[in-house]
Structure 1
Amino acid sequence: MHMAGLQQRRAQFIIIAALLYSLYILSVVVKPKRLATKQFTLPDLDRHTVFQLPPYLRSLEDAGINPAEALALHDKNAVAGQKSGQSRRAKTDVKLVSMSLRSSRYPQDAYTNFLWRCRTGEPPAAEVFETFISLKHRIFEVRVESERYPRTYNPSIIALPPSSHYPFLIVARVRGGGFFQESLICEGKYIDEPFVNPWGFEVMNRIVGCATNPRVLMVPQTPARDCTGIDFMSDVPGYHDPRIFWSNTGAPMMMFNQQSRYGCFGLWIIDLRSIYPSLRYRVTRGLLNQYPTVMELTRKEGRNPIEKNYVMFFDAETGAGYVQYELGHGSRHFARLAGNGLTTSNMTSPFEITCINDDAIWHQATNAIKIVLCDYGECEPEPENTVYLAFLHRKEIPEEFKVQYKRYVAIWKATAPFEMIGFASKHIRFDNEDEWEQKFNVEGRFLYTVSIAWEKNMNRYEGYLNENVIISLGVGDHDNAAVVMPVRDLMTCMRSCRHY
């Protein structure tokens, strides 16, 4: 019995010794050295001055980031990574830090190669003509009407959460008397109506229509600061050009034009739950209401008396909000939101290439949507495979008092510095656009692209290539329409900005 006890204690001692030795080996050999985070010493920061910094770090100053600290962090991480060569995690961290400081970071070719090809096979997604691309998806009617306002136009559409009774939320403008501006809001759904085609056969015609009674969407009025030379604009009642979209936190937002605190007209934003209370009980994300009342978005440089067509987007890594004021031939201007509508100075890199080669009048047309460049379930959202997409209009005036808008698709990275990736090689038309031009006698001169959104709300901010988008259209300032298609079909026949 005594011998058995000795053998048991001996076995326990051997096991404990082996465990301690294993822990020592892990701590000395395998454990990587910690990467630098926020610890900076004066010698590290004094080694570099702003004038000695490489060009890709100089633009960080406008973002409120100390370039010297950023470079010191980059150097420390690089040294730590070299010393811990056996640590895969250390190497990955150094690579990510280095990538975040480069001013020209594109998605991997494996994700973007499809953008530069025209999907014209069987079945074709597009037909390429000399001056435009025809996407093989048909325009259908969007119907928003009330007893007071039987005709509306320029609809903006988003998909409601799965817990909602109806799939869509629609805001559409109405024509009041004189300059009076109002908008209707309703919840919408697909409606199939019988229709007799030109050959005498009854077929079903699908539209999107109001499932709830449309009501006027009220927004607090604001005064104009300065409308010198256009004094009549200061008295235009009501807001106009509403655009609704989801924020990165899942908050339903509306951006619109109204009299400005800084000029004549500016862009304002409000959380839709403040003015459409029924959303409060169905939106399960974005519980923090950042814009409980109207808030004007500022612009530090290049402000015009009348500002229009801003686009808001969010950094896929940090969640920070940005406002893109304009995008066109050789010009791009965006800034980071700093709170209460205030923004930083222009953050566009001086080395930015917008790859828009037409010296024309360009207008941002729609909000931006975030896209993961793979089919759902095939990959996870990462900085290397995530982009933003929005429509732009090329404005032409071929004849006096006639305006023509040609739609193009623009794509940019979803992480700083948000460089442009691709731009449509030709302007985009839809399969039955000719029919709509003849029906409403607009001849392509005013088929305006208003908004783009995911057709289904999956309680996430981004969507994937095999998911559908709904694109809303304003017809000649007197009617509503929309198109539904896989977003992949929209991203065809692009021109690469990298090789521009």
Structure 2
Amino acid sequence: MLVKDFRRLVLILGPVVVLSILSIGLWQAKSEYLLGQYNQLRGKPSSPPPEPAKPEQKNNLGSIERPNPLPPPSKWKEIFSLTTPNKTFFEIRFGDVPVFNPNILPHPTEDDTWIIMGQKWVSHEDIALGLIAYEMGCKARFTVNGEELKCIEDPEPLPIKPTTGGLCEGRWEVLNLNVGPHDARAFYGPNKPYTIYGSNSNLVCFGQWIQDFRELVPSAWKGISSEKEDTTFRHGTELRRPPPSHPIEKNYFVFWDNKNHMHAHYDIFPDRSFARLNEKDGAVGPNLALTTAKHDNKCLEKYLPFVSDLEFESIHQATNSLKLTLCNRSDRSCRLREEENTFIMTIVQHKSFYSFHSEYEPYVILFRQTAPYEVFAVSKKPLWISGRGRQEEKKRTDMLYVTSMGWKEKGMRYHGFLDDVLFLGFGVEDKRAGGIDVLAGDLVGSTDIIGLCEG
């Protein structure tokens, strides 16, 4: 009797077990595939194969190890926090929510308070259920010892509306499943804050969108009537670019010239690309970078690392822009020359990928605020953020991905001076968020730090 019951049980449960095994296998395969495409969207390599290639081999995931030992620390320009006890960077905490790639804006009305935003970390399980992305935000303050900038309220997803898209094809087709924003940047312009984020495109596969940041955190700007008249980009608007376009567009930043005309900057490598932006609908004019291409390429090649193998290295835009006058705020004689002594500042990064590990080296770039907007100066050395780890035995350093910069003081927006304090926000190993506060002069204040394009 027991044997008959057991056989009957096998006949019933056998198909269920087989289907379960097949479902788990398919779920894992889908998860790994989606994760690979999601990582490539964010400029990251796919997950490594179970068995790495031999040291002398290469594949599309990276070489097995860095070809040379780590350069000496003197290769970098180390920058230190002005407020943390040990001068290293501070952690940014979104409660118990894992968040990276942070942005920090001074709160418009509250003292010693900032609005922070960052990308919620996505697990394999989340990706398998669909490419759902969130940008988390909250009000934040520093802990007593200054070692953490943390939410003083529960972080919440910002109400950035998903876009429909549906134009992804071939290797990118899976990204049609994406819901929500990616790698958003929050920043002040001359008059108000904005955010730029990646989302499904109406023009290509994946595009860049811009929106008035006040619409996403309305309570912070409640009652500030002087800014209500500016309705530019009140709703999410896709930014266009002069041809040619790419299936995946990312890392745009905008800048304002000396007449407060808004421009979109698309690429820094292998060639610059930027255009005047129509603030009504996101349309643009021709690529203005062609005028200064010869000058700009010569300067960028002089100071930025040489990229010999695009499979393992690249240079790309990283942060928003700020306007910087190269003198102290108290220097009256310099302020008389503000028109000629003020530049647009941004940060770009040299990316390398060895031993299945990415590393990013940030470089500051200054370009002129007047037409034709040519590059003026570039960091002589990449920035080393104090607190970043260095592992000699593995020939690698911690991955710090700089995503944002903004003035620390309440009331400051786009324009600052060498003695003003700014925040750099960055992701740490794609799992955590960090920041550091430094004087602008620590980044560009002397020719020992920054290299001029001419002379």
TM-score, L = length of structure 2: 0.73
Paired residue secondary structure (1:158): strand
Q: Distance in 2 between matches of 1:414 and 1:284?
A: 29
2:276 corresponds to:
336
**Shift in CA distance, 467/165, structure 1 to aligned 2, threshold 3 Å:** closer
In the alignment, does 2:324 pair up with 1:371? yes
Query: What stretches of structure 1 of length at least 5 have no aligned partner?
Result: 1-127, 193-203
**Shift in CA distance, 312/284, structure 1 to aligned 2, threshold 3 Å:** farther
Q: Distance in 1 between matches of 2:416 and 2:292?
A: 30
Q: Distance in 2 between matches of 1:424 and 1:134?
A: 12
Paired residue secondary structure (2:221): helix
In the alignment, does 2:114 pair up with 1:168? yes
In the alignment, does 2:181 pair up with 1:239? yes
Q: Distance in 2 between matches of 1:434 and 1:449?
A: 15
Q: Distance in 2 between matches of 1:166 and 1:337?
A: 34
1:1-21 alpha-carbon deviations (Å, 9 max, x no partner): xxxxxxxxxxxxxxxxxxxxx
Letter of the aligned partner of 1:241 in structure 2?
Answer: D
In the alignment, does 2:238 pair up with 1:296? yes
In the alignment, does 2:454 pair up with 1:498? yes
Paired residue secondary structure (2:340): helix
Tell me if structure 1 keeps the 8 A contact 2:80–2:436.
no
1:191 Cα deviation after fit: 1.1
1:184 corresponds to:
136
Tell me if structure 2 keeps the 8 A contact 1:167–1:456.
no
Paired residue secondary structure (1:233): helix
Q: Distance in 2 between matches of 1:171 and 1:210?
A: 10
Paired residue secondary structure (2:441): helix
1:283 Cα deviation after fit: 4.5
**Shift in CA distance, 456/442, structure 1 to aligned 2, threshold 3 Å:** farther
Letter of the aligned partner of 1:374 in structure 2?
Answer: C
Please show how residues 108-127 of structure 1 align to structure 2 within 5 Å.
Answer: none
Letter of the aligned partner of 1:483 in structure 2?
Answer: I
Paired residue secondary structure (1:350): helix
Letter of the aligned partner of 1:216 in structure 2?
Answer: P
1:407 corresponds to:
362
**Shift in CA distance, 133/270, structure 1 to aligned 2, threshold 3 Å:** same
Tell me if structure 2 keeps the 8 A contact 1:225–1:263.
no
Please show how residues 220-369 of structure 1 align to structure 2 within 5 Å.
Answer: 220-229=161-170, 230-249=172-191, 251-281=192-222, 283=224, 286-287=227-228, 288-316=230-258, 318-329=259-270, 331-338=271-278, 339-352=280-293, 353-354=295-296, 355-357=299-301, 358-360=305-307, 361-369=314-322
Q: Distance in 1 between matches of 2:200 and 2:277?
A: 20
Q: Distance in 2 between matches of 1:332 and 1:375?
A: 30
In the alignment, does 2:134 pair up with 1:134? no
1:419-454 alpha-carbon deviations (Å, 9 max, x no partner): 11111112110222127x89xx99535210010000
1:248 Cα deviation after fit: 1.5
Paired residue for 1:159, among 106, 119, 126? Answer: 106
1:25-56 alpha-carbon deviations (Å, 9 max, x no partner): xxxxxxxxxxxxxxxxxxxxxxxxxxxxxxxx
Deviates more, 1:304-313 or 1:183-192: 183-192
1:209 Cα deviation after fit: 0.9
**Shift in CA distance, 154/282, structure 1 to aligned 2, threshold 3 Å:** farther
In the alignment, does 2:153 pair up with 1:212? yes
1:258-283 alpha-carbon deviations (Å, 9 max, x no partner): 00010000000111222221133155
1:384 corresponds to:
340
**Shift in CA distance, 442/232, structure 1 to aligned 2, threshold 3 Å:** farther
Q: Distance in 1 between matches of 2:143 and 2:275?
A: 41
Letter of the aligned partner of 2:272 in structure 1?
Answer: R
1:130 Cα deviation after fit: 4.4
Letter of the aligned partner of 2:300 in structure 1?
Answer: I
Paired residue secondary structure (1:490): helix
Paired residue secondary structure (2:176): helix
Paired residue secondary structure (1:273): helix
Tell me if structure 1 keeps the 8 A contact 2:367–2:374.
yes
**Shift in CA distance, 130/263, structure 1 to aligned 2, threshold 3 Å:** same
Please show how residues 484-495 of structure 1 align to structure 2 within 5 Å.
Answer: 484-491=437-444, 492=446, 493-495=449-451
Paired residue for 1:398, among 354, 371, 390? Answer: 354
1:420 corresponds to:
375
1:498 Cα deviation after fit: 1.7
Q: Distance in 1 between matches of 2:117 and 2:395?
A: 22
Q: Distance in 2 between matches of 1:174 and 1:349?
A: 38
Tell me if structure 2 keeps the 8 A contact 1:145–1:152.
no
Q: Which portions of structure 1, spanning 4 or more consecutive aligned residues, are displaced by more than 6 angstroms?
A: none
- Equivalenced residue count is 350
TM-score, L = length of structure 1: 0.66
**Shift in CA distance, 480/333, structure 1 to aligned 2, threshold 3 Å:** same
Letter of the aligned partner of 1:132 in structure 2?
Answer: W
Tell me if structure 1 keeps the 8 A contact 2:101–2:433.
yes
1:205 Cα deviation after fit: 5.2
Indicate the RMSD between aligned Cα atoms, in angstroms. Answer: 2.2
Tell me if structure 1 keeps the 8 A contact 2:111–2:410.
no
**Shift in CA distance, 422/283, structure 1 to aligned 2, threshold 3 Å:** farther
Paired residue secondary structure (1:452): strand
Q: Distance in 2 between matches of 1:239 and 1:423?
A: 31
Please show how residues 444-483 of structure 1 align to structure 2 within 5 Å.
Answer: 444-483=397-436
Q: Distance in 2 between matches of 1:282 and 1:442?
A: 53
Percent identity, aligned pairs only, is 25
The higher radius of gyration belongs to: 1
Letter of the aligned partner of 1:398 in structure 2?
Answer: Y
